[in-house]
């Protein structure tokens, strides 16, 4: 987490307290070690997550900065353990430097998506959210406020996006951050996609590990940057032809 937090900050995707991360670490930590943490506030969930019963997560703390997480991870994270009933969670935030620290404000989205992963037995353990500038910028252009238009740009600007994100990215029209509404809608998108763009806000991605989740966003941003580069130079980018895209897709299945 600290390594990726550093990348997010360096990329300019993590201004102030932007972005958040969750990792399902069930089985990697025992209750006894969680007991070492002072704070164990219990919070009732607005929506129960029955597939996460007894699961343990590491999450970024609310209001924490990625640049701080990179240097002092232990001060900027929280652990949570979902109750055996799935209706609440115990939090373990133990930063003397940050008393009262709580898990990320986007916890509804993290739990909704992680619950779906658990239900479907997915290998995905990580959910990463960041404010990738060029992806946000694309969604400020009315022409690109649809899944089809965004994916055609992202695939068209670099063959690696066709290879590594063959299903494309999900897209969510603007929704208020930190709400159950954004959580449920995002979870639905992740049923089909490994990355989801939030209109005028940012991007989320998943993976079996955090580096994989970061790499997917990095690839998507490369395409968006390329598009803006051409436009800034005064040219309309050509994009990939349908035949080229088809050939790249075939190559993947070889």
Q: Binding ligand 2HA by CB under 6 A: which of 177, 184, 230, 237? A: 177
Place of tokens 């009732």: 44
Pair 205, 213: CB distance under 8 Å: yes
Residue 152 in contact with ligand 2HA, rule: CB under 6 A? no
Torsion of Cα atoms, 178 then 183 then 184 then 185, to 10°: 90
Q: Is 202 in the site for Zn ion (CB under 5 A)?
A: yes
Question: 19 vs 207, which CB is nearer to ligand 2HA?
Answer: 19
CA angle 36, 52, 121 (to 5 degrees): 125
Distance CA 239, CA 156 (A): 4
CB of 135 to ligand 2HA, least distance (A): 13
**3-class DSSP state of 94:** coil
Question: In whole angstroms, how close is the CB of 104 to ligand 2HA at the nearest point?
Answer: 5
- Could you say whether residue 186 binds ligand 2HA (CB under 6 A)? no
Q: How far apart are CA 33 and CA 47, in angstroms?
A: 27
CB of 151 to ligand 2HA, least distance (A): 23
The answer to the question of residue 76 lying near ligand 2HA (CB under 6 A) is no
- Residue 105 interacting with ligand 2HA (CB under 6 A): yes
By CB under 5 A, tell whether 108 contacts Zn ion: no
CB 108 within 8 A of CB 183: yes
| Joined tokens for residue 186 | 């995002």
SS3 readout for 220-245: HHHHHHHHHHHHHCCCCCCCCCHHHH
Complex with Zn ion: residue 61 or 202, whichever CB lies closer: 202
The region of 98-106, 144-152, 157-165, 218-226 touching ligand 2HA under the rule CB under 6 A is 98-106
Binds ligand 2HA (CB under 6 A): choice among 2, 11, 18, 34: 18
Which positions are annotated as active-site residues?
A: 106
Closest by CA to 106, choosing from 146, 65, 61, is 61
Q: Which is nearer to ligand 2HA, 102 or 158 (CB)?
A: 102
Please identify which residue in 24, 104, 161, 194 interacts with ligand 2HA, judged by CB under 6 A: 104
Strands (E), 19-137: 20-24, 42-44, 56-60, 77-82, 88-92, 126-130
Q: Smallest distance from the beta carbon of 214 to ligand 2HA, in angstroms?
A: 16
Give me the residues that bind Zn ion (CB under 5 A), please: 202
Give me the residues that bind ligand 2HA (CB under 6 A), please: 17-20, 104-106, 129, 177
């Amino acid at each position: 987490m600290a390594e990726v937090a550093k990348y997010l900050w360096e990329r300019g995707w993590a201004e102030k307290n932007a972005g958040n991360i969750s990792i399902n670490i069930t089985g990697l930590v025992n209750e006894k070690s969680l007991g070492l943490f002072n704070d164990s506030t219990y919070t009732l969930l607005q929506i129960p997550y029955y597939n996460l019963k007894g699961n343990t997560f590491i999450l970024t703390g609310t209001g924490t900065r990625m640049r701080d997480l990179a240097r002092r991870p232990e001060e900027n994270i929280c652990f949570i353990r979902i109750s055996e009933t799935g209706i609440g969670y115990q939090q373990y935030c133990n930063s003397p430097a940050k008393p009262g620290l709580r898990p990320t404000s986007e916890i509804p989205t993290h739990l909704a998506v992680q619950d779906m992963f658990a239900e479907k037995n997915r290998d995905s353990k990580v959910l990463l959210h960041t404010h990738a500038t060029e992806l946000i910028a694309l969604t400020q252009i009315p022409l690109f406020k649809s899944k089809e238009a965004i994916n055609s740009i992202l695939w068209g600007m670099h063959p690696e996006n066709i290879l590594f994100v063959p299903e494309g990215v999900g897209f969510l029209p603007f929704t208020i951050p930190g709400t159950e509404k954004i959580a449920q809608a995002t979870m639905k998108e992740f049923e089909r996609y490994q990355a989801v763009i939030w209109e005028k806000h940012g991007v989320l991605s998943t993976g079996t590990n955090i580096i994989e989740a970061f790499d997917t966003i990095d690839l998507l941003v490369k395409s968006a940057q390329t598009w803006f580069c051409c436009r800034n130079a005064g040219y309309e980018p050509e994009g990939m032809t349908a035949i080229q895209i088809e050939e790249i897709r075939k190559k993947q299945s070889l």
